[in-house]
Amino acid sequence: MSEAIPQHTVDALLPEVARLIVEALNLEMAPEDIEPDAPLFGDGLGLDSIDVLEIALVISKHYGFQLRSDNADNVRIFASLRALTAYIASQRTK
Amino acid sequence: MSTLPLIAGLGLEAIIAWRPDGPRRVRDFLADVDALADRLPAGTALLNLCHDRYRFAAGFAAGLVGGKISLQPASQSAETLARIRADFPDVACLTDGEFDTFDLPRCDFPDLAAADPGSVTAIPRIPADRLAAVLFTSGSTGLPQPQRKTWGKLVANGRAEAAALGLDRAPHTLVATVPVQHSYGFESSFLLALHGGCAFWSGRPFYPQDIAAALEAVPPPRLLVTTPFHLSTLLAAGIDLPAIDHVLCATAPLSAALAAETEARTGAPLTEIYGSTESGQLASRRTTAGPAWTLLPGVQLEQDADATVACEGHVEGRVALSDVIELLPDRRFLLHGRHADVVNIAGKRTSLAYLNHQIAAVPGVVDAAFFLPEDEAGGGVTRLTAFVVAPTLSTGQLLAALRRRIDAIFLPRPPIFVDALPRNGTGKLPRSALQALYAEKTRHAAR
């Protein structure tokens, strides 16, 4: 999946995805303060499963595709902002 | 000695579960239970961590038949597991996935392909007074509080819920978005199957598209067991859904608007369940038909000074409820919100006193108070905020320290730094003062 997406496409999309996350989750931080390679769970942003569903909803509205749990890449998709952005770039329909 | 069957309302040839590879009959399930019972570690307690609902059910039944207590904590933090081990020294974990059981002995769910359904001749019976499960609630100190459930009470809960939903007359296939170990999922996807004559889907769909796929995988009529949060994201996703015949919702208040939208979109009646881990399920209502709740068969509510107490039926003993309740005639009542200190975020419960104790213990925090804003959105999940006096700490430092102390779901979203808290002359913090401070601060933020 993400291998097929050029790096510059992902880099260009990062700020937009960061902004969607900050808005969706009402995080008290600037989008550019999300470290692209830091984990979204645990000691990174510390997201929980409610946050994941909130993000999934925003992604489906904004980019026109649905996330599925039976996707083997699921753990990787939410590993970091960069991983999530690469996945969006590979799946988006709008 | 009084005994009750493991399963009632389904014969040996009836289907009890649907898995991705197809249906399992009661006969298949019992053969798996027999085979598993021989493989479980010795000991009197089983911490059943299986994600798969079918494997959880087989593990629970194998343990029950063999006299093991099923331990079902609200969280699986290191602190909780240490406490469980102190109380149940011979506990072993049954797992079916990646999970850090710390130093507890573990048994990975075995391959049961050799189980022989042909050898099953009868549904086992279990003494009604056998201690079957211990569910844990987070007490106000944060230490897990054990809630003991006998097999007789669990069966009665399943039967009462089935009767209230009309499933005893018209069984449905159950698809649940909630974990099977916690009280609502345990009662409404496990007990409801074993004692309500229903089959259940083995998975736990998470994303909206997963829920649609799970519904598609089982035959109608279908009952969706879910929460206000899952329901609101499911509807908001705007995807096509297979036919749903009944929606069950619990764990947090459901807005009348979301209930009405659910019924309009699915064409199915929506029933809300009211209960607690301590008391089991107590009442139900068709949310669109009005605010009053109707007690499940057998249970009673009594006013006892300031508190309302649940008793009789499948309630273990007398349980004081954490809600303000107005009793009405004909086994009906109104809920007027929770006692002020209790907070419930997406079905996880704690107390403001506990959270305030934790934040006050963070080095650098001079004074602090958690605050739950009024639910404005309805349907969405309201998050906690906290007012913090901590001149030397950044937001990041504060959250990092809190994350080590409390469940991530209770982290303030966001913390609001202030110079002082609006304490009154006696040092107390009236909710009205916090509400005013919240309004002032969020108005600033919105500018």
Pick from B292, B307, B338: which residue ends a domain?
A: B338
> Residue B285: is its pLDDT beyond 80?
yes
Residues B331 and B379 in one domain: no
Between residues A68 and B252, the one the model is more confident about: A68
Q: Which domain holds residue B221?
A: 3-338
Cross-chain CB nearest to A48 (options B237, B399, B408) = B408
Torsion of CA A75, A78, A81, A86, to 10 degrees: 70
- Is A57 in the B-facing interface, judged by CB distances under 8 Å? yes
**Among A70, A87, A91, which would you mutate to test the B interface (most chain B Cβ atoms within 10 Å of its Cβ)?**
A70
Q: Mean pLDDT over residues B71-86, rounded?
A: 83
Mean pLDDT of B288-302: 96
CATH code at position B381: 3.30.300.30
Contact A60 B208 (CB under 8 A): yes
Looking at the structure, tell me whether residues B212 and B80 fall in a common domain: yes
A2-91: CATH, from 1.10.1200.10, 1.10.1200.120, 1.10.3720.10, 3.40.50.150: 1.10.1200.10
Helix (H, G, I), strand (E, B) or coil at B147: strand
Instruction: Look at residue B374 and tell me whether its pLDDT is greater than 90.
Output: no
* Nearest Cα to Cα of residue B114 among B24, B32, B12: B32
Q: Where are the beta strands (DSSP E) in B291-441?
A: 293-295, 300-304, 307-311, 319-320, 323-328, 332-338, 342-345, 348-351, 367-371, 385-389, 415-417
Tell if the CB–CB gap between A49 and B206 is shorter than 8 Å: yes
Chain A residues touching B213 at Cβ < 8 A: 68, 70
pLDDT band at A1 (very low <50, low <70, confident <90, very high): very low
Specify the pLDDT at position B252. 78
Count of domains for chain B: 2
* Residue ending a domain, choose from B286, B316, B338: B338
DSSP bridge pairs for B323:
B338
Do residues B265 and B351 both lie within one domain? no
Of the ranges B82-91, B183-192, B394-403, B415-424, which is most confident? B183-192
Q: Between B244 and B103, whose confidence is greater?
A: B244
Alpha-carbon distance values, B228 to B178, B249, B417 (Å): 11, 6, 31
Q: What is the CATH number of the domain that holds B49?
A: 3.40.50.12780
Contact B346 A50 (CB under 8 A): yes
- What is the DSSP secondary structure assignment for residue B100, as one 8-state letter? -
The pLDDT of residue B447? 38
> Is pLDDT above 50 for B215?
yes
Residue in B closest to A51 by C-alpha: B409
Helix (H, G, I), strand (E, B) or coil at B129: coil
B394 exposure class (CB count in 10 Å sphere: 0-12, 13-18, 19+): exposed
For residues B84-93, give the mean pLDDT.
93
Task: Please give, rounded to a whole number of angstroms, the shortest distance from the CA of A56 to a CA of chain B.
Answer: 8
Is residue A46 within 8 angstroms of chain B, CB to CB? yes
CB contact under 8 A, A50 and B400: no
Q: Out of A44-48, B67-71, B167-171, B391-395, pick the least confident.
A: A44-48
Rounded average pLDDT over B371-398: 81
pLDDT at position B405 is: 82
**B414: Cβ contacts below 8 Å, ≥ 6 apart:** A26, A27, A28, B385, B395
Q: Which residues of A touch B233 (CB under 8 A)?
A: 53-54, 56-57
My answer on whether B172 and B206 are in the same domain is yes
Q: Picking from B84-88, B143-147, B356-360, B399-403, which range would have the lowest pLDDT averaged per residue?
A: B143-147
Whether B328 and B441 map to the same domain: the answer is no
Residues 6+ apart with CB under 8 A from A42: none
Do B283 and B389 share a domain, yes or no?
Answer: no
Residue B283 has pLDDT above 50, yes or no: yes
Q: Look at residues B86, B93, B107, B221 and name the one whose alpha carbon lies nearest to residue B165.
A: B221
Nearest CA in chain A to B381: A50
Q: What is the model's pLDDT at position A3? A: 53
Q: Do A57 and B236 touch (CB under 8 A)?
A: yes
**Comparison of pLDDT for B62 and A57, the residue scoring more:** B62
Q: Is the pLDDT of residue A2 over 70?
A: no
Write the pLDDT tens digit of every residue in A3-16.
578 889 999 999 99
The average pLDDT across B156-173 equals 95
pLDDT surpasses 60 at B331: yes
Looking at the structure, tell me whether residues B376 and B276 fall in a common domain. Answer: no
Q: Given a cut of 70, is residue B379 above it in pLDDT?
A: no
Are B249 and B258 a contacting pair, CB within 8 Å?
Answer: no
d(CA B351, CA B430): 16
Distances (CA, A) of B434 to B63, B73, B369, B384, B416: 49, 33, 9, 13, 12
Sheet containing strand B415-417, edge to edge, reads B367-371, B385-389, B415-417
B312 and B350, same domain (yes or no) = no
- CA atoms of B446 and B112, how far apart (whole Å): 58
Q: Is the pLDDT of residue A43 over 80?
A: no
Tell me, what's the pLDDT at B396? 86
pTM of the complete model:
0.84
Question: How large is the average pLDDT for residues B12-17?
Answer: 98
> Which value, in Å, is the radius of gyration of the alpha carbons in chain A?
12
Residue B205: per-residue pLDDT: 94
CA distance B335 to B343: 15
Work out the percent of chain B whose per-residue pLDDT is above 70: 95
Q: Is B124 exposed, middle or buried (0-12, 13-18, 19+ CB in 10 A)?
A: middle
Q: Which of B319, B338, B357 is the last residue of a domain?
A: B338
Tell me if B237 and A47 make a contact (CB, 8 A cut-off). Answer: no
Question: In angstroms, what separates the C-alpha of B206 from chain A's closest C-alpha?
Answer: 7
Q: What is the pLDDT of residue B126?
A: 98
Predicted confidence at residue B446, as pLDDT, reads 47
pLDDT given for residue A74 in this prediction: 67
Q: Is the pLDDT of residue B52 over 50?
A: yes
The chain B residue lying nearest A59, using CA atoms, is B237
Task: Give every CB contact of residue A7 below 8 A, 6+ residues apart in sequence.
Answer: none
Among B108-122, B177-191, B231-245, B331-345, name the one with the lowest average pLDDT: B331-345
